[in-house]
Copies of this chain bind each other. A is one copy, B any other.
Amino acid sequence: MSKEEFGFETIQLGHGSGGLMTRDLLDKIIFNTFSNPYLDQKHDGSIVDFKGKIAISTDSFVVSPIFFKGGNIGELAVNGTVNDVAMCGAIPKYLTLAFIIEEGLKIDEFITIVNSIKKSADESGVQIITGDTKVVERGKGDKIFINTTGFGDVNTKAKIAAEHIEIGDKILLNGYIAQHGMAIMSQREGLEFESTIESDTTNLNFLVNDLINEFGDKIHLFRDPTRGGVASVLSEISQDINKGIVIYEDKIPLEKQVAAACEILGLDPLYVANEGVFLVIVDASISDDVLLFMKKDKKGKNAAFIGEVTQEHPSKVVMQSTIGGKRIVTPLIGEQLPRIC
């Protein structure tokens, strides 16, 4: 579908009316792209069959700019929710998709975003089963906001919960941190670095599921450190479990150019948002095997052991720095990077 075939250059208020213009937008761009037996009913809802424990997660995506190095808001909206469902130990299956579009969004941009959603959904193995499209007047939104809600069957081998975490558990990361946040930030600030930083947005569900199948209940927790970064997520976990966490600065996977960008902008990479990164907390006995297993996967090839759960300093995260000092890692307080996802 091109804007010529669609007949409009930009999204109009009428495309959110619930009348013929809405139907036309849906028929030509949405139903066309995502066609599947659920969506083809063209109703306000869909009916699916479930049996057992289902993980559900919802997220609204308001990232600015909507196109960035390494992705766009459409991919983010799929991968973000797919990953949240995966972090529950589940296999994502279905997504709902709701747009809030600002009048005047270019149809070309909308089509690009919709195509990215389709591609990411296919790659993650999820189907778009129902949706919604609203249009707000110019100046009452910001191009496009996307909400996705995801559903998936919990892997019966999974026993994921913070309460299973024990003293001595090891903390691993699947790859380089701070890439998504610094990609967005560099672009917003118009900074050019030696080589370009790209968002790490990607689906993590297959690797996560493989880990559960391989290691079962010895895996105690998955978490994706998006907004607030690794520091905020680890702080939350250590408070929830009332145990200490120690991390080793020199073990945290961080690309040189990302580190440089952080330094220029005065940001601590530990607080910068990630999209293709997850933390996994495992029984000490399997830590080395998990690391090896992850390193064999494309999504985990830069995996690293970064720390452990301790009896000391309960509810606090302590970082042992490269030069030997220790500092408490507090959670992010307010806004470091607004509208990062």
Which residues of A pack against B, CB within 8 Å?
A: 12-14, 16-23, 42-62, 64, 84-85, 87-88, 90, 94, 96-100, 129-132, 134-137, 139-142, 145, 147, 149, 151, 154, 224, 226-228, 232, 236, 240, 271, 273, 331-336, 338-339
Q: How far is the CA of A90 from the CA of B44 in the complex (A)?
A: 13
Known A-B contacts A20-B333, A145-B145, A332-B20; the reply to A50 vs B47 at CB < 8 A is no
Cross-chain contact A51 with B51 (CB below 8 angstroms) = yes
Q: Report how many copies the assembly holds.
A: 2
Cross-chain contact B135 with A338 (CB below 8 angstroms) = yes
Q: How far is the CA of A130 from the CA of B334 in the complex (A)?
A: 22
Q: How far is the CA of A232 from the CA of B47 in the complex (A)?
A: 23
Cross-chain contact A45 with B88 (CB below 8 angstroms) = yes
Q: How far is the CA of A51 from the CA of B153 in the complex (A)?
A: 12
Whole-angstrom distance between the Cβ of A267 and the nearest chain B Cβ: 13
Residues of chain B within 8 A (CB-CB) of A240 are 42
* Interface contacts beyond A18-B232, A58-B98: sample of 16 additional A-B pairs, CB < 8 Å, sorted by A: A13-B334, A16-B335, A19-B331, A19-B336, A21-B335, A23-B236, A45-B55, A45-B56, A56-B129, A59-B132, A61-B134, A96-B149, A98-B149, A136-B142, A136-B338, A137-B339
Q: Which of B56, B129, B333 contacts A21 (CB 8 A)?
A: B333
Query: What residue in chain B is nearest A161 (Cβ atoms)?
Result: B41
Q: Which of B44, B49, B135, B136 contacts A57 (CB 8 A)?
A: B44
Q: How far is the CA of A12 from the CA of B265 in the complex (A)?
A: 22
Query: What residue in chain B is nearest A17 (Cβ atoms)?
Result: B335
Q: Which 6 A-B pairs have the closest CB atoms?
A: A18-B227, A14-B334, A19-B332, A45-B57, A18-B228, A58-B96
Q: Which of B13, B45, B56 contacts A46 (CB 8 A)?
A: B56
